[in-house]
Structure 1
Amino acid sequence: MQLDRIDLKLLAELQKDGRLTNNDLSERIGLSASQCSRRRARLEEDKVIRGYRADIDRQKMGLGLLVVISVTLATHNRDNAKRFARLLADLPEVLEAFSLTGEMDYHLKVATRDLAALSHFVNEVLLPHDSVQHVKTSIVLNVLKDFEGLAVGIDT
């Protein structure tokens, strides 16, 4: 799909505030509300815009501990990787999961209430799973940059 300059402006504005109406968008990008509506619908239909969600403060939700967990699988085959993926799909503590090249097979971004909850997650959920061989945890001391949207500006 080819995105033009106006599509990129529209996407940039929606990333800042997904609740913008088509009238608000039209004022910000200099296009009629009906054109904004058509473009937004096309971007949604083409799955460029995958959805809209609230940005919730994890600490205010009682999830004060953020952890990066590195996981090595017990065996490296497709079935074991699928078992591990199924495990992750059912774990709300896992905010993001990445399959990697290199020494570790996966990095997980995990949020828990506290150290006791982290200990339970690692020792009672991850380590006993038959797909997992090794787990290494790193507690996040400070978040320097959080995801705030893709670089969709017209300068990129």
Structure 2
Amino acid sequence: MPETKIDAIDRKILAILQQDAHTTMEKLAEAVGLSPSPCARRVRNLEAAGVIKRYVAVVDQDKAGLPVSVFASIKLERQREDELDRFAKAISRWPEIVECYLMTGQRDYLLRIVVKDLPAYEAFLKRTLTRLDGVASIESSFALSQVKHAQGLPIG
């Protein structure tokens, strides 16, 4: 797919939708200086190009009863493509893992795992991560508090 050109108006549209995806087309159009039809066309183009991937509700982690975030660094025994793919496929099945990054450096993956409490993490660790073939080591760090969590990208 060719690279999508995003102009200043598209950036304004994206910035507004990242803050409130429920904003009406009329309000969005007014904020970016267009009439509703051309504004809607731009939004559809951004969706079709995959710039806007989907619309979601942002749920408060604490109020949902999942206050604990654990960052787990995973080192695999080997970093061959088939083993990386197997690991990625396995962890995609577990909803507790809300983010996963393939990393450079000493560890192969960094996971953010969300659970209700320490016993829940211990159970998750014992029943899932430690049972994965090819995992050489797991190092867990617990977040004490969340200082920043941006929902949107710095479209600017």
TM-score (structure 2 length as normaliser): 0.95
Instruction: State the Cα distance separating 1:148 from its structure 2 match.
Output: 2.0
Aligned position for 1:81: 84
CA distance in 1, matches of 2:6, 2:149: 26
Instruction: State the Cα distance separating 1:131 from its structure 2 match.
Output: 2.3
CA distance in 1, matches of 2:114, 2:62: 9
TM-score (structure 1 length as normaliser): 0.95
SS in 1 for 2:27: helix
CA distance in 1, matches of 2:147, 2:113: 16
Gaps of 5+ in 1: none
CA distance in 1, matches of 2:124, 2:150: 24
1:48 aligns with 2:51: yes
Aligned position for 2:133: 130
Aligned position for 1:26: 29
Deviations 1:34-82 (A, max 9, x none): 1110000000000000010000011111111111110001222111111
Q: Does structure 2 conserve the Cα–Cα contact (< 8 Å) formed by 1:81 and 1:131?
A: no
| Matched residues, number | 153
Instruction: State the Cα distance separating 1:147 from its structure 2 match.
Output: 2.3
Q: Specify which of 38, 41, 46 is matched with residue 38 of structure 1.
A: 41
SS in 1 for 2:131: coil
Alignment of 1:110-149 (within 5 A): 110-149=113-152
The percent identity for this pair of structures is 37
Query: Amino acid of the residue matched to residue 28 of structure 1?
Result: A
CA distance in 2, matches of 1:60, 1:13: 25
CA distance in 1, matches of 2:79, 2:10: 42
Aligned position for 2:68: 65
Query: Amino acid of the residue matched to residue 140 of structure 2?
Result: T
SS in 1 for 2:38: helix
Q: Specify which of 4, 16, 22 is matched with residue 7 of structure 2.
A: 4
The structure 1 segments of at least 4 consecutive aligned residues displaced by more than 4 Å after TM superposition are none
